[in-house]
Amino acid sequence: MSFARFRSASLCLARFPCDRADREETGDSGTNLRSAYHRAPRPRARPRDGARVAVFRHGEMPLGRVGCGALQSVLPAPALPRPRLLEITWPIFSENLLHMLVGVFGVWLVSRLSDEAAAAYGLSNQIMLTFMITFRFVSVGASVVVTQYLGARDRAGAEQVARASLAANLWLGVFSFAVIAIGARPLLELMRLPPSLFPIAEPYLIAVGVMLAFDAVNFSMGSVLRAHTYTRDTLRLIVVMYVVQLALSLPLMFGVAGAPGLGMMGLALAAVVGRALSFWMHRQLWISRLGIRPTFEDFWRIRPDRLREMLHIGLPGAGENVVYRISFMIILAMVANMGQTALTTHTYTMQIMHFLLLFGMAIGFGTEIVVGHHIGAGDLQGADRLVRGGLAIGFCVCVSLVLATALLGPHLLGLFSRDPEVIATGSRLLWLTLLVEPGRTLNLVVINGLRATGDARFPVGFGVFSMFAVAVGLSWLLGVHLGWGLAGVWVAYAADEWVRGLVMAARWHFLGWVPHARRTFRRVRLSSRPA
């Protein structure tokens, strides 16, 4: 038998995981498993023996004990089609693009005050972003686990996870605000901010620290909405939030009708108001779209069982981001030692690459959502096809965007600098980005797919090795020791992305994720059975 036929047969068998331990634990013979989990159940099927029919996320099926265990949903849900990748991806891409554009506009607004204010603003935001990484521990895990329960048509389990994510992230947000409020000055000293900028940065940092409590809850609520495939609603919400925030920023910063402006404090107040409005809109969407009305208890009560499920996925996922950030900072220190021109070129080129990264991130997050639905439904073949289709789309779009950017490189870099050396070196780096971004897209799609199956620890474990041994190691060897400069650093970036990407692709292709998908399916199924 060829490997392709063996692989297809393995996925067919793995689609409905059922063994003796499952049957003994659930008390079911497993004879109805295949019919219960058929990929396209008839939406108008007549109930047997007068049984009630509940309308679920992806179709209809009778309530009761089905399959290799008692998989029972206790709440009705609207009949909606199985989520499609591109329908989910484009709102996520638009949302990420909007976040980045508003950030750039914020820098421009602050620069109108003074260069010193812009420096304080940029460094304070780096501190804020560091704290926001902790919110991903819960929000990423909540998104994946909710998709798995929805795929299993267990709306009650999905709701329990959603409610548990609120308290977990709110406590993180309150703790983050407390740390900033108490230790704003030590944090700024740690970041080597010049003492002359403390009077500007410290009040601003404390003011936007209030925003962290709102952002923490908004992260959870937004991830749950996206897991339910309401990505367009979250996009509309973000648009309204930023329109209000920017409309308030101008009069609060620069004054209106003779009233004096508040400078950076005005920008901070506008951000807090925007986040508070976002929280209210998220709550309304939970009520109208999901049928979930958050209670006061949901915001303070920690649910250990559900939190454990979320952290099993979220901790490795967020840990990977932390490791990436550390390795990037080490490489940035090497670039700084190459001279001011090299550091400036690196900074401007990376700003352009951040825009190229947006679609890869969107296709990766979309893959995570849809694969989670497939895994919860026991459809491993569907998950496999989805990841492969996501890679094909990601590669085509990525290569097209990078090629267009490289061709326009001198003009784009000319928006940042008039130094001929910066423009010439940056243009060469953009052509080398043709090696970096396809590998990054491979990473984003496959790693998010692995995480959605429950295989979350292998990517971060190998990622720690690759980011330090390959990215940091080769940056020193090629960029510093051999004197290749920034070209050597870019080759190291590409090598790291491709080494990690190919290893992750091999793990997916050779079905290393299937045992994790089986355990995830079993956990969701057993959690869904009646007590």
Q: Are residues 97 and 189 part of one domain?
A: yes
| pLDDT at 37 (0 to 100) | 34
Is the residue at 194 inside a domain?
yes
Is the residue at 29 inside a domain?
no
As a whole number of angstroms, the distance between CA 412 and CA 427 comes to: 9
* Total domains present in the chain: 2
Tokens of 475: 């940056």
Q: 96 near 362, Cβ under 8 Å?
A: yes
Q: Are residues 329 and 268 part of one domain?
A: no
Q: Are residues 324 and 211 part of one domain?
A: no
The residue from 281, 302, 323 where one domain ends is 302
Mean pLDDT, the chain, integer: 82
Highest mean pLDDT among 85-89, 199-203, 256-260, 272-276: 272-276
The residue from 287, 302, 317 where one domain ends is 302
| Lowest-confidence segment of 113-122, 266-275, 348-357 by average pLDDT | 113-122
Q: What is the mean pLDDT of residues 74-87?
A: 56
As a whole number of angstroms, the distance between CA 384 and CA 394 comes to: 15
Q: Are residues 279 and 344 part of one domain?
A: no
Range of the domain at 406: 308-530
Q: Are residues 314 and 297 part of one domain?
A: no
| pLDDT at 348 (0 to 100) | 87
Length of the chain: 531
The residue from 254, 285, 302 where one domain ends is 302
The tens digit of pLDDT for each residue in 274-303 reads: 999 999 999 999 999 999 999 999 999 999
Q: What is the mean pLDDT of residues 377-393?
A: 93
The tens digit of pLDDT for each residue in 462-500 reads: 999 999 999 999 999 999 999 999 999 999 999 999 999
Q: 489 near 335, Cβ under 8 Å?
A: yes
Amino acid of residue 5: R
Three-state DSSP at 56 gives strand
Greater model confidence, 293 or 118: 293
pLDDT tier at 4, thresholds 50, 70, 90 = low
Q: How many CB atoms lie within 10 A of CB 406?
A: 18
The tens digit of pLDDT for each residue in 5-53 reads: 556 655 654 544 444 444 444 344 333 333 333 333 333 443 333 333 3
| pLDDT at 60 (0 to 100) | 34
Q: Are residues 327 and 297 part of one domain?
A: no
Is the residue at 339 inside a domain?
yes
The tens digit of pLDDT for each residue in 429-467 reads: 999 999 999 999 999 999 999 999 999 999 999 999 999
Whether residue 142 has pLDDT greater than 90:
yes
| pLDDT at 528 (0 to 100) | 65
Q: Are residues 518 and 470 part of one domain?
A: yes
Q: Are residues 266 and 348 part of one domain?
A: no
What is the percent of the chain where pLDDT is above 90?
52
Long-range contacts of 111-116 (CB under 8 A, 24+ apart): 112/254, 113/253, 113/263, 113/264, 116/196, 116/197, 116/200
| pLDDT at 477 (0 to 100) | 95
The tens digit of pLDDT for each residue in 248-266 reads: 998 998 887 667 788 889 9
Q: What is the mean pLDDT of residues 350-369?
A: 90
pTM of the shown model: 0.80
Q: What is the mean pLDDT of residues 191-213?
A: 86
Q: What is the mean pLDDT of residues 310-339?
A: 86
Greater model confidence, 402 or 259: 402
Is the residue at 448 inside a domain?
yes
Whether residue 506 has pLDDT greater than 80:
yes
The tens digit of pLDDT for each residue in 301-320 reads: 999 989 999 998 888 887 88
Is the residue at 56 inside a domain?
no
- DSSP characters over 518-529: HHHHHHHHHHHS
Q: Are residues 260 and 331 part of one domain?
A: no
Is the residue at 258 inside a domain?
yes
Q: Are residues 222 and 179 part of one domain?
A: yes
Q: 453 near 512, Cβ under 8 Å?
A: no
Is the residue at 17 inside a domain?
no
Angle between helices 514-528 and 115-151 (to 10 degrees): 70
Q: Are residues 274 and 328 part of one domain?
A: no
Q: 477 near 485, Cβ under 8 Å?
A: no
Q: Are residues 338 and 215 part of one domain?
A: no
Q: Which of 263, 230, 180 is nearest to 77 (CA)?
A: 230
Is the residue at 463 inside a domain?
yes
Q: What is the mean pLDDT of residues 182-206?
A: 86
142 to each of 158, 183, 288, 397, 467, how far by Cα in Å? 9, 30, 20, 29, 26
